[in-house]
């Protein structure tokens, strides 16, 4: 499938007390047309910074050090500001965790969705209002016509997130970047919003990059997964393959905390991996995961593993995987 969004070797640093701290290290990630890709990892692993870098929304203290981001082959990092502003909320829709911050409390939801339509399409007010009704209907705010004049405070958190999704869809985007879109919602509503994203993806042919710290969420939603740890992608591949035979010890640790595997856990808390992720300003030498890895070898403390292929569409950043992949397909069973 042709890549819609392509992130290649993206490295980003933040200036903290006069020092540049690396927070993304050679991140590569592809999202194909109509694809549903999950980006998962613990808090602080660099998921949001990846999204913000793609959208060119890094704060002034953050800087892209190297790498390339393209959207339909167009270089996003080199795009003039005006073209990038059109791209954001245009071809690339964005949904963040807290829907309230994306909505203005003093305007009705119908007005706000209609304004989102008018921001990207040349239509008059009445056409925009009709389009807002269609979009609210699409995200199952019903009966849409009667809800147009509702104000944000009249809606629940889940309904507000639906309105935000309707606003993101107003520009008929090709890609939706959703950063923890359901973390502020309770579990039942989370499932409804994920169902909606999945439905929109298949109905509209939309590509979705779903960012979350919760593997249970991506398990049933995403076709492809990328796992982040300490600013790097440490494993990627088709979701089913990763759940079936994760190669990287970190992914395997994450998987033991997923409720669907029947292990005891507190939702969203990664109980199974002892220790804490490293401070980006004080990364351990060698493999960043080595202080927490149950399979650590002497080499891991000295050298940094590269992301190597370990199957079709798969990659893992671990010396063990590289060694087993070199031995041939029969040896993969040992690491699953
Ligand atoms: N403005 C900033 N200045 C300095 N460091 C920052 C800044 N924003 C983020 N970072 C650092 O960058 C790293 C990645 O942060 P990021 O917000 O991308 O994590 P995340 O994976 O999205 O985590 P969460 O699941 O908590 O949202 C963290 O170590 C964070 O402390
Ligand atoms: S390279 Fe070594 S420390 Fe890193 S994940 Fe693999 S086995 Fe563990
Ligand atoms: Mg984040």
pLDDT over threshold 80, residue 35 = yes
Is 186 a residue whose pLDDT tops 90?
no
CB-ligand 1 contact for 48 (6 Å cutoff): yes
Within-domain flag for 145: no
Q: Is the pLDDT of residue 185 over 90?
A: no
Which ligand is closest in space to the CA of residue 45? Answer: 1
Confidence class of residue 271 from pLDDT cuts 50, 70 and 90? low
Determine, yes or no, domain membership for 26. yes
- Ligand 2, atom 3: nearest CA belongs to which residue? 290
Looking up tokens 């059109």 gives: 86
**Ligand 2 probe mutation, 296, 303, 307, 315, most atoms within 8 A of CB:** 296
Q: How far is the CA of 48 from the centre of ligand 3 (A)?
A: 4
In a domain, 115, yes or no: no
Q: Which residues surround ligand 3, an ion (CB under 5 A)?
A: 48
For residue 41, give the ligand 1 atom closest to its CA: 21
Residue 57 has pLDDT above 60, yes or no: yes
Taking the alpha carbons of 94, 99, 101, 105 in that order, is the dihedral positive or negative?
positive
Residue 56 lies in a domain: yes
CA of 246 to the centre of ligand 2 (A): 13
* Total domains, the chain: 1
Half-sphere exposure of 259 (CA within 13 A, CB side): 11
pLDDT higher at 326 or 239: 239
Per-residue pLDDT at 258: 63
User: What average pLDDT score do residues 57-86 get?
Assistant: 96
Q: What is the CATH number of the domain that holds 315?
A: 3.40.50.300
Query: What tens digit of pLDDT does each residue of 299-336 get?
Result: 999 999 999 999 889 999 999 987 777 776 555 444 43
Atom 29 (ligand 1) nearest CA: 44
What's the start-to-end Cα distance of the chain, in Å? Answer: 27
Asked if the model's pLDDT at residue 262 lies above 70, the reply is: no
Indicate whether residue 183 lines ligand 1 (CB < 6 A).
no
Q: What is the pTM of this model?
A: 0.92
| Residue 127 CA, ligand 3 centroid: distance in Å | 36
Q: How confident is the model at residue 144 (pLDDT cuts 50, 70, 90)?
A: very high
DSSP reduced 3-state for 324: helix
In the prediction, which pLDDT does 263 show? Answer: 42
**Domain that includes residue 62, residue range:** 3-91+173-335
Residue 228: inside a domain, yes or no? Answer: yes
* Local confidence band at 259 (pLDDT 50, 70, 90 cut-offs): low
Q: Does 134 fall in a domain?
A: no
Residue 141, domain member (yes or no): no
Spacing of C-alpha 189 from chain mean position: 19
Query: Is 330 a member of any domain?
Result: yes
């Amino acid at each position: 499938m042709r890549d819609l969004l392509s992130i290649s070797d993206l490295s980003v640093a933040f200036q903290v007390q006069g020092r540049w701290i690396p927070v993304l290290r050679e991140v590569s990630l592809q999202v194909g047309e109509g694809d549903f890709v999950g980006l998962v990892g613990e808090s602080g692993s660099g998921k949001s910074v990846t999204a913000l870098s793609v959208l060119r929304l890094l704060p002034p203290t953050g800087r892209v050090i190297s790498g390339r981001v393209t959207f339909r082959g167009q270089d996003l990092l080199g795009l003039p500001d005006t073209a990038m502003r059109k791209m954001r909320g245009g071809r690339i829709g964005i949904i963040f965790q807290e829907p309230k911050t994306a909505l203005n409390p003093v305007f009705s939801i119908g007005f706000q969705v209609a304004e989102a339509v008018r921001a990207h399409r040349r239509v008059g007010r009445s056409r925009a209002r009709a389009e807002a009704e269609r979009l609210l209907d699409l995200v199952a705010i019903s009966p849409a016509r009667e809800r147009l004049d509702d104000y944000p405070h009249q809606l629940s958190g889940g309904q507000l997130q639906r309105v935000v999704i309707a606003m993101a869809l107003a520009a008929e985007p090709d890609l939706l970047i959703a950063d923890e879109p359901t973390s502020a919602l309770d579990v039942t509503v989370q499932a409804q919003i994920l169902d909606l994203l999945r439905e929109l993806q298949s109905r509209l042919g939309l590509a979705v990059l779903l960012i979350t710290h919760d593997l249970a969420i991506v398990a049933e939603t995403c076709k492809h997964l990328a796992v982040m740890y300490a600013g790097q992608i440490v494993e990627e591949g088709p979701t089913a393959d990763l759940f079936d035979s994760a190669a990287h010890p970190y992914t395997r640790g994450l998987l033991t905390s997923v409720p669907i595997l029947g292990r005891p856990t507190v939702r969203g808390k990664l109980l199974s991996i002892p220790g804490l992720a490293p401070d980006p300003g004080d990364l351990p030498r060698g493999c960043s995961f080595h202080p927490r890895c149950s399979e650590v070898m002497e080499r891991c403390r000295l050298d940094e593993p590269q992301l190597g292929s370990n199957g079709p569409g798969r990659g893992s950043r671990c010396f063990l995987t590289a060694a087993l992949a070199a031995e041939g397909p029969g040896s993969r069973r040992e690491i699953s």
